[in-house]
Amino acid sequence: MNGIIVLFLALAVLVIVPAVDLAFAAGDEPAEYVDRRVIIWNLFFRLMTVAFVVGAVVSGTIIWQVWRFRESHPKAKPTPYEGTDW
């Protein structure tokens, strides 16, 4: 069942994305003189900001997890898999 949902979701994305692309694509009206340097470098810096923030959050979470769930942490509790004679 889940497989079918995922399949339909993937197919929907495959259809919807090109359709939206076509709908919002630049039309025949004359374009303004955009400065491609500004647009491209701004995009680059915005996406680099996103990338570094995501990187910091993900690596920070991993570091915190490793620190918090180490065996020697004062609040560490044994899991059922590790036995109960802690």
Partner 1 sequence: MVKLSGHSNWPEWIYVAVVIALMCWVGAEAWNAERLVEHVPEGAEIIIVTGQQWFWTFEHEDGTKEIGELHVEVGKAYKFEIHSKDVNHSFNIHDYVVLMDAIPGRINTVWFAPTDVGTHDIQCREYCGLIHYNMRGTLYVEEPST
Restricting to residues 46-65, which ones interact with partner 1 according to CB under 8 A?
46-47, 50, 54
Q: Per the structure block, which two tokens stand in for 39?
A: 């647009």
Contacts (Cβ under 8 Å, ≥6 apart) of 78: 84, 86
> By the 8 A CB rule, do 48 and 54 touch?
no
Q: One-letter amino acid identity for 27?
A: G
The token duo for 46 is 């915005």
**# residues contacting partner 1 (CB under 8 A):** 21
Which member of 7, 43, 63, 76 binds partner 1 (CB under 8 A)? 43
Q: Does 22 bind partner 1 (CB under 8 A)?
A: no
Q: Which stretch binds partner 1 (CB under 8 A): 7-15, 36-44, 64-72?
A: 36-44
What residues line the site for partner 1 (CB under 8 A)?
21, 24-26, 30-37, 39-43, 46-47, 50, 54
